[in-house]
Structure 1
Amino acid sequence: MSDNTARDSAYKEPVILLGLGAMGAALADAWLTAGHPLTVWNRDPRRAEPFAARGATVAATAAEAVASGRLVVLCLLDDDSVDEALTGADLTDRDLVNLTTGTPLRARDRATWAQARGARFLDGGIMAVPPMIGTPESGGYVFYSGSAASFEDHRHTLAVPAGTRYVGEDPGFAALHDVALLSAMYGAFSGIAHAFALIRREAVDPEKFAPLLVDWLTAMVPAAHTTAERLNSGDHTSGVVSGLAMQVAGSATLVRTAEDQGVSTALLSPYLNLMERLLREGGHDEEDTARVIDLLVG
C-alpha cells in the first residue's frame, strides 16, 4: 500500500449537520464515533452541548455552519424549518443532503431551489428509527435521490450512520420510496389490528395467536413480486388460483364474521370495496386482484 493510499483510507470527511433532534443526535453520534470532524447547529444550542464535549464544533447560526464546509446534512422538523435555517446561507459549491421528512414534490422543488443557489442536492428517506442509526446489524438504511455525482462523492461518509440505497436522479424518488414503504407498513398494521380485534373478546390468547399471524403474513408477502410482474406484463390471469369473482364472494364471510364479533369493518372495507368495484366493471372475474391498483391511480 502506498503512502497516498494509506492517507486516503484514513481520511475522514468533515460533516456539517443542521438539526439535533432524536434522529439528528443519532446521526451526530455515528459520525463522531467514526472519527468524522463534525460541525453542528441546532435551534436550541443546549442540544449541541454533549457533542461539543466530544469534539464537535458548534456553530452559532445555520449560515455559519454551512460556511464551514462542503457536505451539509439537514435533519430538521419540516420543510418550513429547512427554509428558515437556510435563509441567508451561501450555498455556492455546497452539497445539500436533506434528510428532513417530506413529500416527493417538495423534494423536487427543493432541488430546483438549491441548484439555483449553486448547490448540488440529495434528498433522503430514512428507513430506520434513531436506535438503529450507527448499528450496521440493525438493517437500517437511507434512500437517496438527486445528484448522482454528489452521492458518489460522499457515499462512504453517508454510509456511516446507515446503509445507503441510491434510487435515481429524480430528487423526489427517495421520498416516494420512503412513503410507499411506510404506506405498505400501515396497510399491514391495519390488517394486524383487525385480526386482533376479531379475537379480542374471545378466549384466544393474543400471544399464542401472534406467531400464527406472523407466519401467515410472511407467507403472503411474496405476492408483492407477483404483483410487480403483473403490472409490468399486463398479464392478470396466468397462474391465478383464486380469481377476483371468487375472492369477492368469499369476502362476504369476512364482513359477516366481523359483524358477528361486534368489530368494525372500517379497516377492512376499503380494499373489499375496491375488489367489488372492479368486479362490477366486468371482464375481470378470473383475474388476480392486482388490477385494483389501476383504480387507485385512475
Structure 2
Amino acid sequence: MSDVAVLGLGAMGSALAGALLDGGHTVTVWNRTGHRAAALAERGAEVATTAAGALRAAPVAVVCLTDDAAVRETLVAVPGRTLVNLTNSTPEQDRGLADWAARRQMTYLAGGIMAVPSMIGTPAAFVFYSGDAGALQRHRALLERFGGVEYTGADPGRAAVHDLALLTAMYGMFGGFLHAAALISAEGIPVAGVEPLIRGWLTAMTGALPAMASAIDSGDHTATGSTVRMQALAYPNLLDAGRERGLDNGLVQPMGELLTRAVSSGHGDADLSVLATMLHGGRVRRENEQQIDP
C-alpha cells in the first residue's frame, strides 16, 4: 500500500504528487486521461487505472480536480480512508462533501491552496485546511510537503472561506492595477515606468488594513482620516478620466456606486471600513455564533 494517493494530475495535482515523491513518500496517482501520469511514473509513482483503485491504494487521498462536480463524479466510497480535498471549492460545497464522506465512514479535510504550481514545496506556499483536526495531525508531515499548514477550524467550509477571501483581495488588486495601466497607456505613457510607483503605493496602503479589520470586527467605524464622504466626492474624477479616454470602467465602477450609497445611507462621516458591513446588510457573523447547518 502507498503512503498517499493523488487524484487529478493537472498542473497543480502533478506539482502536489511531485512534492510528495520528493519527500520520499510512496505515491499512487490517478488521472482521467492516463498519459498525464507518465512523468510521475518515471519518478517512482504507482499508476492506478481507476479512481477507486487509487483510493484503495493508500490510507489518505489528496484530491485536486477541476471543480466540485468533477470531485463528486470521481469519488467512490472506501470506508476508513481520509480525503484531503484541495480542489477549489465554496464553503457549501466542502460542507456537503464532508457530510457525504461521513455517511460513508470516511474522514474529510478541506483545503485551499495559496500558491501556483511552481511554488508547491517551497517556503512561499501555504495551504488552508479545515475539518477533522485529528486527521490533520495524523497526516501533518505529509501535508507539510506542499507548504505551510494553516488550520482554520473544524467547520469544513472554513478553508474555502479563507481561500476565497484571499483570492478576492488578489483579484481586486489586479483589477485596480489593470484599470490604472489602461489609464496610463491611454495617454501614451509606458506602463513599465509607472509600475514601480503603483507597487510602492499599494504596499504603503496595506498599512491601513489592520485598523480597518479591527473596525469591521468591532463595528466602530469612526473615521480618523479621510471619511467616506470625502472619498465619494473625489471618486467621480477617476471614472470621468476613464470615460473621457474611452475606457470601460467596469472594474472600478462598483466601488464608486458603493461609496455613493454609503453617503446616502448616512455613513458619510464614517471610515471606509463601513463599506464591508454594507455588503452584507450591516451584520457581521461572530466567531461564537452557531455554525451554518450544511
Deviation at residue 149 of structure 1 after TM alignment: 0.6
Identity %: 46
| CA distance 1:86–1:203, shift in 2 (3 Å) | closer
Gaps of 5+ in 2: 282-294
- Structure 1 residue 179: Cα displacement: 0.9
Query: How many residues in Structure 1 have an aligned counterpart in Structure 2?
Result: 280
Provide, for residues 264-298 of structure 1, a one-character-per-residue CA deviation record: whole Å limited to 9, x for no partner. Answer: 3222221111111110112x232101111122112
Q: Does 1:56 align with 2:45?
A: yes
**Alpha-carbon distance in structure 2 between the residues aligned to 1:84 and 1:233:** 43
2:150 matched residue in structure 1:
165
What secondary structure is seen at the aligned counterpart in 2 of 1:200? Answer: helix
Q: Does 1:33 align with 2:46?
A: no
Query: 2:158 is matched by which residue type in structure 1?
Result: F
**What is the alpha-carbon distance in structure 2 between the residues aligned to residue 24 and residue 126 of structure 1?**
11
The CA distance in 2 between the partners of 1:211 and 1:124, in whole Å, is: 34
- Output the CA distance in 2 between the equivalents of 1:49 and 1:195: 44
Between the aligned partners of 1:190 and 1:142, the Cα distance in structure 2 is 24
For residues 170-189 of structure 1, what are the alpha-carbon distances to aligned partners after superposition, in whole Å with 9 as ceiling and x for unaligned?
10111111111111111111
Matched, 1:291 2:280: no
Question: In structure 2, what residue type is equivalent to 1:296?
Answer: L
Q: Which runs of 5+ in 1 are unaligned?
A: 1-12
CA deviations over 1:113-159 (Å, ceiling 9, x no partner): 101111111011111111111223xx111111110111111111101
Q: Report the CA distance between 1:23 and its aligned residue.
A: 0.8
RMSD in angstroms over aligned alpha carbons?
1.5
**TM-score, structure 2 normalization:** 0.91
CA distance in 1, matches of 2:48, 2:261: 58
1:53 CA drift (Å): 2.1
Q: How many Å apart are 1:235 and its aligned residue?
A: 1.5
Q: Which residue of 2 aligns with 1:271?
A: 255
The letter of the residue matching 2:241 is: T
Worse-matched range after superposition: 185-194 or 254-263: 254-263
1:262 deviation in Å?
3.0
Cα offset for 1:196? 1.1
Shift of 1:259: 2.9
Partner AA of 1:294 in structure 2: T
Q: Runs in 1 of length 4+ with deviation above 4 angstroms?
A: none
Q: Which has the larger radius of gyration?
A: 1
Partner of residue 154, structure 1: 139
Q: Distance in 2 between matches of 1:81 and 1:248?
A: 44
Map of 1:7 onto structure 2: none
In 2: Cα distance, 1:125 partner to 1:279 partner: 36
TM-score by length of 1: 0.90
1:250 aligned residue:
234
**Helix, strand or coil at the partner of 1:196:** helix
Counterpart amino acid of residue 238 in structure 2: L
Query: Distance between the aligned counterparts of 2:250 and 2:35, measured in 1?
Result: 45
1:246 is paired with a residue of what secondary structure? helix
Deviation at 1:255, TM superposition (A): 2.5
